[in-house]
Each structure stands twice: as C-alpha cells, then as structure tokens.
Structure 1
Amino acid sequence: MQILTISTIFAGNNLFRLLNGLVVTIEISLISIILGTILGVILGSLWSAAGTLIKPIFKAYLEIFRVVPTIPLLFLFYYIFPRNLNINLSAMQVSILVFSLWFAAELSDIVRGAIQSISKSQRENAYSIGLTTLQTYRYVLIPQSVPNILPAFINLSSRIIKTTSILLLISVTDVITVGQQIIEANAQDTAVPLLIYGFIALLYFLINYLLSHFSRRLERKYRKYE
C-alpha cells in the first residue's frame, strides 16, 4: 500500500505537473521580489528624505499592506477592481501586482530605517565633495545600508515564496493547486494527501534553504568590506 501511494507522484505526468507548478511559484515570487525591490528602494529613499507633509502618504501605503491580509487584497485586485475599472488582468498578473506592492511596502520601511541610521556626517561629506542628492543616495547611503537591509530582505523574500500557497484561491496553477488536483483525483487513497503535501513542503524547504544559504554568502562578502 505504501509503495502504491508513493508511486502516485510518478504516475502519469504528476511529477512533471508538480514541477511545472513549482516553476510558476518561483516565477511569480522572483518577478514580485525584483519589482518590489526596485519600488521599495525608491520609496524608502524618498521616505527618508520626505518632508513632514508627505510622510503620512508613505505611512498610509505601508499600513494598508501591513494590516490588510493578503487574501482580501488578492480578491480586491482580481474580482473587484477589474470589474469596476474595466481592466482585464490574469490571475498571474494580479498575483505579481499584489505581491510586488506588498513587498515594496515592507521593504520601503526597512530601507528608510537603514538609511536614517547612517551617520549624518556621511551625507554632509558627500555634499561637500560636490555630489548631488541622487548621487549621494546611489553611491553613499544605499550601498552602506545594504548590510542592514539584507537579513530583512531575505526574510521578506522567504515570506513571499511561502505566501504563494494561497494563490489557488484565484485559480493560479501553482504547485499547491496542482497538488490539490492530484489529491482529488486519488481521493480513494487517504495516504495521498500526506504524500503530496509532504513532497510540496520539501520543495518549499529546498527553495528557502537555497535562499538562506545565498544570503549567508552575501553577508560574509559584505563583512569583508566593512
């Protein structure tokens, strides 16, 4: 019985479907992280330099994505906004949009804090040698902030990858959705859910372990230059 249950993964094209679903998960996560990083760094830099009147706008954006759960946000962007705004977005596009905005919101606060923790003398020295504000952020403040940002950045990236498991709610064919389909097709075997979800958990573990290993290498690299 156990051998028959284990063979479910390799039956037909189940393994290929699971790996293809994993590719979808990685693709959504990777694109969201890249877009969220670009937007988060820009917003965090602007936030650190913003005046008193503009800061509440950044705080409002952060709090919306920090307080509101991801599932309602997905439903809003997938079901409500497209219907009211007459915009047609695929489930994958909505997923990337929501996760990118969420990632950017969280990262912007981290970037802001890291930049503001740098000594004011660094900024003054940059201005004294003729650097513009943009050059000061690009060549002085942001590079010095990276070691402080990196651990939180990896944690956020890991959260994005794990949170993709809820995308079955808007019919994204990710690894969780494929796993659920295989379980439903083998409903007569009560051991199949444990096998499939255990296999999926292993895939998530491997992805996040590699991400954690990569982050440790980056941290060691930056320590050499401190």
Structure 2
Amino acid sequence: MEYAESQGTPRSHSRLGMALMVVLALAGAWALVKHFAGASAASAGYDWDFAVLWKYRSLLISGLLYTLLFTVVCVVLGLLVGVVTGLGRLSTNPYITAPLRAYIEVFRCTPVLVQLVWFYYALPVLTGLELSAAAAATLCLTLYGGAFYSEIVRGGIISIESGQTEAGKALGMTRLQLLRRILLPQAFKKMVPPLMSQSIMQLKNTSLLSVLAVPDLLYQGQVIAHDTYRPLELYTFIAIAYFAVLLPITIWAKRMEYGVSKEA
C-alpha cells in the first residue's frame, strides 16, 4: 500500500503541474489581450466589450462542441484509412501500390482549403451525388488525414529491422502473424509522436470548415460578429478557445511521447 501511494505521488504532482501550466498560460493570454485592447482603445478609440459574448454563449458552446466532435470523427476515420492504406503500401504488387501512392501524393501536395471547396462543389458534379457541407467536410478531412497517417504507419513498420521479419518467417509465421506479433507492436511506439502531431493538426484544420458554412466554432463566431459588429472580441475569444483546447492536448502528447521513448 505504501509503495502504491509513493508511486502515485509523482503522477498527481505531474497532473497538478500541467493544470497549473494551463491556467497560467490562459491567464497570461487574457492579460495580453486586455493590455493590447486597452492600448488600442486609447490610441484608436475602439471600445472593447467582451460582455457581448455572454449573450451568444449557447452558439459559441455549440460551435466548440461541434468542432471537437468533428475532430474526433475525422481522426478516427482518418486512422482507419491510414492503417489500411499504409499496410497496402507495403505490398509488392504495383497495381495496389500505384493507386495508393497517387492518392497519398494528391492529398499531401494540395492545400486542404482547396480540397474542401472541391469536395463540396466539384465532386457532386462529377459523381451526381449530393453532399451536405458536413458530409463533404468529413470526407475531405478523413482522406486528407488518412494520407498523412498512411505514411506514418508505413514509415513505422519499415523502420523495424529486417532481421526480425526474417526470424519470424523462419519460425513459420504468416505475414499477418508477423504484423500482429512482431512489427506492429514495435512500430506503434515509433508512430505515437507523429500520430499525435497529425491529430492536433486535424483539430486546427477544422477552422477551415467555416468556408462551407459548417457550424463549427469559427463559423458561429462569424455569424455573431455579423450580428454584433464585434469581430475583434469574437476572433480573440476563438483564438483563446483553440489555445485552451490545444495546450492540454499538446502537453499530454509530449508526456506520452516521453513515456514511449523511455519504454523504447
């Protein structure tokens, strides 16, 4: 019992330290906003009024929740696409690898904003399928993230020494058994940092959904700014909201990366 308590103490201190860091970072960001807001008000005569945000709190909260839900869905679906595509890229059959490589390069070498607009406006014309803004955005970000996840999966697997594959084959393992028992468990440790980084990028990419009128946080902010003529307050709040969400995730990702590197 004493051992368990002594082991739990550093972990609780680490969580407390992370929470304190988040609070201090948010307080510092708010202090900077207030400082520059006051300075600009004195020089330009602009009267900052953040109280207007309270009136539209339900829209802002719904936009934030939609952003987070959309991120989770796109990350999960993108990981599924990335795992399947990444494993497919390991094939020696050019009829499998060539289309997969073309898909990956197209999505990695074109801006995601252009992809969003193309999926919403051009894809229905080419296929005859009517897509809602949310469906087009989900499909686009899923395939976009899947292209990057695919290369992460492939790179993690091929980084394992070939001798381990040869040893598994000598023991009579099938290719699937090699992946499940030898390659994937080791490769996953190397995949964790880039997978976390790309997932964080997916959250930031959701800010582009407003171009399709998807009701995410930025779009709701634009609607409110149009009604209140208070764009500076709205965009300042949105920036702080993204920061408040991403900072703990980034810290957690760094801790996970450190833990994985220690185990390796």
Using structure 1 for the length normalisation, give the TM-score: 0.89
Asked if 1:9 is matched to 2:47, the reply is no
Q: Which residues of 2 match residues 94-113 of structure 1 at below 5 A? A: 94-113=136-155
| Pairing of 1:89-128 with structure 2 (within 5 A) | 89-128=131-170
Aligned pairs (5 A) from 1:98-177:
98-177=140-219
CA separation in 2, counterparts of 1:60 and 1:84?
A: 19
Q: CA deviation at 1:210?
A: 2.3
Partner of 2:249: 211
Q: Which amino acid aligns with 2:166?
A: E
Count of equivalent residues:
220
Match of 2:19 in 1: none
2:88–2:96 CA contact under 8 A, matched in 1: no
Aligned identity (percent) is: 30
Distance (Å, rounded) in 2 between the aligned partners of 1:106 and 1:156 = 7
- 2:237 pairs with 1:199: yes
Could you tell me which residue of structure 2 aligns to residue 35 of structure 1?
A: 77
The code of the aligned residue for 1:9 comes to L
The residue identity in structure 2 corresponding to 1:197 is Y
Change (3 A) 1:58 1:85: closer
Q: CA, structure 1 residues 115+27, in 2 after alignment: closer, same or farther (shift >3 Å)?
A: same
Kindly report the root-mean-square deviation, in angstroms, between the aligned alpha carbons of the 2 structures: 2.0
Cα distance between partner residues in 1 of 2:176 and 2:121: 39
TM-score scaled by length of structure 2: 0.77
Q: Does the 8 Å CA contact 1:28/1:95 hold for their aligned counterparts?
A: no
Q: Which has the higher contact order (CA 8 A, sep 6+)?
A: 1
Q: Which runs of 5+ in 1 are unaligned?
A: none
Q: Distance in 2 between matches of 1:4 and 1:19?
A: 21
1:108 deviates by 0.9
Q: CA offsets, 1:159-186, max 9 Å, x none?
A: 1111111111111011001101111111
What amino acid does structure 2 have at the position aligned with 1:182?
I
Any conservation in 2 of the 1:29–1:96 contact (CA below 8 Å)?
no
Q: How far off is 1:83 after superposition?
A: 3.2
- The whole-number CA distance in structure 2 between the counterparts of 1:72 and 1:167 is 11
Letter in 2 for 1:201: A
For the residue of structure 2 that corresponds to 1:49, the secondary structure is: coil
Change beyond 3 A, Cα 1:55–1:4: closer
Shift of 1:53: 5.3
Corresponding residue SS for 2:131 = coil
* Deviation of the 1:7 alpha carbon: 0.6
Which protein is bigger by CA-based radius of gyration? 2
